[in-house]
Structure 1
Amino acid sequence: MERKIGFAQALKLFWKQYVNFKGRARRSEYWFMALWHLIFMLPLVIFYVIGLIVMISGFATESNGVGVLGLIVMLITGILLIVYNLATLIPNYALYIRRFHDTGRSMLIPLIFLGVYIVTYIIFVVFNFTDPFYDNASTIIMSILMYLLYLGMGIYNLVICCLDSERKTNKYGQSHKYGSFYQSEHSKGNDDTYSQNHIIAEDSNSEQHLNERDDK
């Protein structure tokens, strides 16, 4: 069994395999990277919320200087969040697909989910323009259905990403977790087969020699 992927190694693999959509990714690689995202983004989110509170309180009390300061903090942290999300968009999706591969599943479901997210995002944008206050009952119903769809997709993704690696080698490559174990077992099986065949061959040769001696 191979060595587990560590916390620092997961970050290195994430950037090293930026556009790798073909291999496999273990649970530890996927969830350690999720923890890295939390570490990177949580401080920015906290500062963004602080900036929002400072801006609202500043303008509400007519302290324009305080309000502007809060607005600046919001803008800076907001830009950093956007840049980080854009920079990690492709490797995140690549890691997501490799995690599916590691469980023996194709990239079809991730592609379908991506299409669903894009279509529903466009629908929400249209709703914000046509019915910004959600006064129409059909808009509310459609929004609820889409949120339920998001919930179902999220639960499915969570379950798949928590599954253990498929032990055997699949069409996406050898298991990073069980690869060496199965390789050694396979080699051991081949050695046993060879030994058995060798013994059978020796027995056959011995029997043949005895028969020849009897004939003489």
Structure 2
Amino acid sequence: MNPLTPLTAAVCAVVVVMIAHDTVVSAVMLTFAVVTAVLSAVLSGGAGRSTGRRSSRQLRALGASLLLTVPATVSYALIYVPFSAEGWTTAGGLSLRFAAMTASGLVLLSFVDVDDLMCSLQLRVPAPLVYMVGSVVRLLPMARRRWSTIREVQRSRGVPDTWRARASCVLPLVVGLVVEAGHRSRPLQRTGIGDPGPRTLLDPVDDPWQERVGRRLLVLVPVFVAVTVLW
């Protein structure tokens, strides 16, 4: 699947929930996100170790979205419940809407392969922008791997797992990320990533016509919802 397809679907899902602002639509989109995450994990559970890791991303995305909903629900309750007769109804509707937006968006985004997305965007947006977006997206997994390495070194030296020991990892983590960013920038400068001119992809990402048509149809869905709501 071309990475632009789940990316487009995620954006359209969030926009539809936001524009519709309807309890039924929010409930349907939240159910869709839950079913998609669970089915993805079940169907790819026996398809190999690498696929299993990919399937767990959908469950982690669903869990993260539900976790983000908790503080949002508390804030809605504090704002509407004490000052409105229908405070619980309003807070519940807004919480459901927030959960539907975050769950559908994050679960669909979890299907996007970052490397394929950057490769696909090279032909559509300027190369420096692609590099900047790719660097930001890869920052979290890079930080997670470096953090794990630092903690393993500490454990091998007999350092106990305390908050003070974890706090001492912050400085080498930041320094390591800055140094690694400098190492990655030099080969990119040699390739002329910021220079104008045509570029050739050695390994282009497949983009079948069915997916191109499907993305255009997906874009029409929020447009139709907006017209229906405004009408």
Structure 2-normalised TM-score?
A: 0.30
Structure 1-normalised TM-score?
A: 0.31
Larger Rg: 1
